[in-house]
Structures are given as C-alpha cells and as structure tokens.
Amino acid sequence: MKYNYIGKSGLRVTPICLGTMTFGTTTSKEEAFKILDKAYDKGINFYDTAEIYPVPPKASYEGTTEKIVGEWLKTKPRESIILATKVAGASSGWFVPCTRHGLTAIDSFHIKTAIEGSLKRLGTDYIDLYQMHWPDIIVPIEESMKAFDELVQEGKVRYLGTSNDNAYGLTKANEVSKYKDLARFESIQNNFSLLNPRFHDELANVCRRENISLLPYSPIGGGVLSGKYNSGLYPEGSRFGLYMENSSARVRAMADRFVNDKTIGATTRYIKLAEEYGISPVTLAVAYSKHFDFVASTIIGARQLSQLDESLAALNFELDDELIKNIEEIQKDILYPMG
C-alpha cells in the first residue's frame, strides 16, 4: 500500500479515506460496521467523520455517526487508525447547522465544547486530524487558531485542518498561525471531482506552495458520476431524491447543484470514457480525484457494502497522459457543471 503525508504533519495515510456521513441514517450501524471492516481489511487506515453527521443534518440524530465509528474503533488497535473529525462551522455562514441549537461558531467556547463531545462519542483520547467544518466570517481567525492550538498543546488533537474554505481563508489562517507561533492547518477538505475541478483555479497553487494537502470529498459527485441519475429521475431513496424532499431551501439547492443538465451531460461522456478503459465510471472518478500531487487522500463514501468495491478499485488504477487529455477535453466542453 502506498502512503502519503498530510501537509507537513506526521500523518501517513492511504490514498483513499473512508467517509462516514451516511452512517446512522441511510446506512444502519450493522451495514456501517461491514463497510468499515472491509475498508480496514483492504488496508485503508484513514477515516473521516464529523460532529454534525449523519446527513442530511437533523438535531435528533446529530452525533450518531461518531458514536457508530467509536463503537467500531474499539474493535481495532487505535494506533492503526488515522481518525479525522470536525467541529461544526458558524451559523453566520451559508449553512446553519443544528449543532448547539444553531448557535455554533468557530470560537474558543464552541471549539472546546465540540472536541469534548467528539472524544466522548468516539471513545478515544485524541483525534489525529481535527478540522474546521466551515469558515467563520465573524469570529477573528486569531481566536479560532489559538483555541485549536490549545487542543494540540493539550494532546487532544495531533494536527489541524480546514474544510469548505477558499484561498484567502486558508492563507490568512496559516499566516496568523505562522506569526503567532500556533499550529497551522495541514489540510483542506473541499469538494473536488470530475464535475467540480474548481480547486485547480487557485487553491491548488496555495497547497503546492505551502505544502498543504487537499482531502477531496464527493469524488463521484454525490453519486452522480455513477450514472444513476442519468435516467432523468431521482432513484428511490437516493441522496438527492431525499434532499429534494427536505424542507430546507438550502438542502434542495444543493440537489440542483449536483443534478442538472450540465452534470448529467458530462457524466454521460465520462461513462463512455470509462468504458473505453474497461473500468467503471466510479473507479475513473475516484482515480481522477486522487491523481494530483496536492492530494493526500480522497474521501470516498458508501451507503451499502456493495458500493465499496468500485471506489477501492481506484487504488490500483492510475490515469495516463492520454486519459487526462480526454478528461480535460470534456471539462473544456462542459465548463464547471456544478457552477
């Protein structure tokens, strides 16, 4: 198995990370254990969760995913696992999490409250990678980074990361850390896929120059790149079918972002391209997401055990120059399908 370091940290992770955001809703605890066990048996050492999971977020079952992961964690040697979780971002941003009655912020109080809850639910003394789930546009980043640094000094967290951030936010945070001698963000967890290559525009440059790692999520576009939405209908029980039934306008808007004429058109071409190489479109999508030098580990997900194999097959598939050229042609013809 190949391993990559996350940023300048001592975290050495497999090129694929198992995400867990459906565990506790569309994925039962029993099925989650099967998925986790199979990934572990295949050599995957990196697992990602969050205090707000499972999704779509709902106050009544928030934290359930961490509890499931924590129960499973007891069946494995703790030091064999690189465990990542997140503190829910600010209610002042584009998304209002249910966490702490919708009043969460990336301030000292909420960061320290969140870590204690996550440690308890996960049944562990430390988190390997602790991430800010969304930037906070109100709380000064100096306060946030100081609070995160204190968790590192206390031994509750080994390293830090951010998520859903932009080039300015990532650079600003790490410049504050540099000049105040605080722990910095070693990673950024953003959406990056065949359907959403925007990370290339500027953040890839920041990551390369500052030795920060991308941990891409949604490498198969929330399931869109599997082709299951190409019929023009939302499959029964599908993620975006459920999102369209949600009372939140923000959640419904996310479904429109992932499933639209441009994403379906691009997916049709990627399916054909995958067929030419004798692989599934899921394998192609995951292989693309992990291909680049600024990526440490690509976060895959599976609601059912049967969905795992096609993603894990990307461990043994590398994109050649011709395939990259073909992908770039599609991306040029259908520019930014997700906006």
* Closest among 136, 138, 125, 48 to 86, alpha carbons compared: 48
**Cα 94 from Cα 41, distance rounded (Å):** 38
CB–CB of 217/191 below 8 Å?
A: yes
Q: Hey, how many other C-beta atoms are within 10 angstroms of the C-beta on 238? A: 20
Task: In whole angstroms, give the CA distance from residue 244 to residue 186.
Answer: 35
Which residues are CB-contacts of 97 (< 8 A; sequence separation ≥ 6)? 52, 57, 88, 89, 91, 104, 133
CA distance 161 to 172: 13
Query: Which 8-state DSSP code applies to residue 79?
Result: G
| Buried-state track 186-212, b at ≥16 Cβ within 10 A, e below 16 | bbbbbbbbbbbbebeeebbebbeebeb
- C-alpha 265/C-alpha 33 separation (Å) is 35
Per DSSP, 263 falls in state H
* Rounded CA separation 295/292 (Å): 6
Rounded to a whole number of angstroms, the CA Rg of the chain reads: 19
**Range 172-176, long-range pairs (CB < 8 A, 24+ positions):** 172/141, 173/141, 173/144, 173/145, 174/210, 174/212, 176/141, 176/142, 176/145
53 part of the active site: yes
Options 3, 5, 53, 130, the catalytic residue: 53
Q: Which two tokens stand for residue 283?
A: 């394998």
Report the catalytic residues.
53
